[in-house]
């Protein structure tokens, strides 16, 4: 006998659940229980479809059958957890056959978060789903805190360097086949701290962050690099585009952030491999471009500050 329940999902935005089972009747039954409880639900009939939908739809929880043809639940879970875009999504195995101790250990070892045996009761299913959603939401808040600089709200340096390949999407090749970087240093910032105090220094840094964000394009990525330095990544941008954005950033800081100005170093490098047959890893290109932008920034400061210097090297 099925016991109905109206247990709601955790409060907040619509919670998305992906149900994966090769048996249509099972998919429909689980989906109905979840929809009745207020969840948004999509279903898949196999592991390959699950991988595609998980990447595009980004569900909050995945309910995954184990016994499926072609790509079973264990292999699907392993691939979900190997993908940076989906590894954080909780996976609950929903199975009637693989509930012995060895199977449970195997499932947990590949990254599953919980097991729900079939036949299930809606109350137990919804309780376990709600628990995973709550944990996932808490983890998302922690990830957001880790990726953001506390003072300015910009991306943090740590997040920047651990996410370069994802931030500079090497799958989108419209426009320039290059990536550019800007390194921005607030001129005479120590003088602000020494004469006006650290609270005023913090205010200045937040104002500079706002000015930079207002001067760049929606596709560009800005992060606090450390201290009074900031970095901007400009995907699909060559050296001429980098120079134009760099000057726009410099002018915005001069206009909006008195009493300070900023010096800017810019560099751009091709994403095409040296032999012209493939693509270079975006993260490697960005690191090289940052090194060149750093040298250009040094020249800008030596030239009197409050100016832009563009690296002459452009692969």
Where in the sequence numbering do the catalytic residues fall?
A: 228
Position of tokens 């569900």?
59
- Look at residues 10, 19, 8, 233 and name the one whose alpha carbon lies nearest to residue 141: 10
Q: What is the DSSP string of 240-257?
A: HHHHHHHHHHHHHHHHHS
Decide: residue 195, CB within 10 A, 0-12 exposed, 13-18 middle, 19+ buried: exposed
Reply yes or no: is the peptide bond before residue 119 cis, omega within 30 of 0.
yes
* Distances 82 to 78, 142, 143, 262 between C-alpha atoms, Å: 6, 20, 18, 41
Residues in the chain: 315
* DSSP bridge pairs for 155: 148, 223
CA dihedral 119, 122, 126, 127 (to 10 degrees): -80
How does DSSP classify residue 14? P
DSSP state of 310: E
d(Cα 11, Cα 150) in Å, to the nearest integer?
26
Nearest Cα residue to 211 out of 262, 161, 267: 262
Paired tokens of 67: 């016994």
- Other Cβ atoms less than 10 A from the Cβ of 128: the count is 20
Q: With the C-alpha atoms ordered 282, 287, 288, 293, is the resulting torsion angle positive or negative? A: positive
Tell me the angle at which helices 101-109 and 73-82 cross, rounded to the nearest 10 degrees: 20
φ, ψ of residue 149 to 5 degrees: the values are -75, 130
């Amino acid at each position: 006998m099925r016991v109905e329940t109206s247990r709601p999902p955790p409060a907040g935005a619509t919670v998305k659940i992906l149900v994966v089972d090769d048996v249509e009747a099972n998919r429909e039954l689980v989906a109905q229980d979840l929809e009745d409880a207020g969840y948004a639900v999509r279903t898949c009939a196999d592991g390959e479809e699950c991988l595609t939908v998980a990447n595009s739809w980004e569900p909050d929880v995945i309910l995954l059958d184990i016994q499926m043809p072609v790509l079973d639940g264990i292999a699907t879970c392993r691939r979900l957890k190997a993908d940076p875009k989906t590894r954080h999504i909780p996976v609950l195995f929903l199975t009637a056959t693989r509930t012995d101790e060895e199977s449970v250990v195997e499932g947990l070892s590949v990254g599953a978060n919980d097991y729900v045996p079939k036949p299930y009761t809606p109350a137990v299913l919804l309780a376990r789903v709600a628990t995973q959603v709550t944990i996932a939401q808490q983890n998302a808040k922690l990830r957001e805190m880790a990726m953001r600089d506390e003072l300015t709200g910009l991306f943090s340096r740590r997040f920047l360097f651990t996410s370069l390949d994802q931030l500079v999407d090497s799958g989108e090749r419209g426009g320039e086949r290059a990536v550019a970087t800007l390194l921005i240093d607030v001129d005479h910032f120590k003088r602000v701290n020494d004469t006006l105090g650290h609270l005023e220094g913090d205010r200045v840094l937040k104002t500079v962050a706002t000015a930079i964000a207002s001067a760049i394009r929606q596709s560009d990525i800005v992060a606090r690099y450390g201290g009074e330095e900031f970095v901007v990544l400009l995907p699909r941008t060559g050296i001429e585009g980098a120079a134009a954005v760099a000057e726009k950033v410099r002018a915005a800081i001069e206009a909006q952030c008195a009493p300070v100005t900023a010096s800017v170093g810019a560099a751009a490098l091709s994403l095409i491999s040296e032999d012209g047959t493939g693509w270079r890893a975006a993260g490697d290109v960005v690191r090289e471009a940052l090194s060149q932008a750093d040298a250009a920034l040094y020249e800008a400061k030596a030239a009197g500050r409050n100016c832009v210097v563009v690296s002459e090297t452009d692969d």
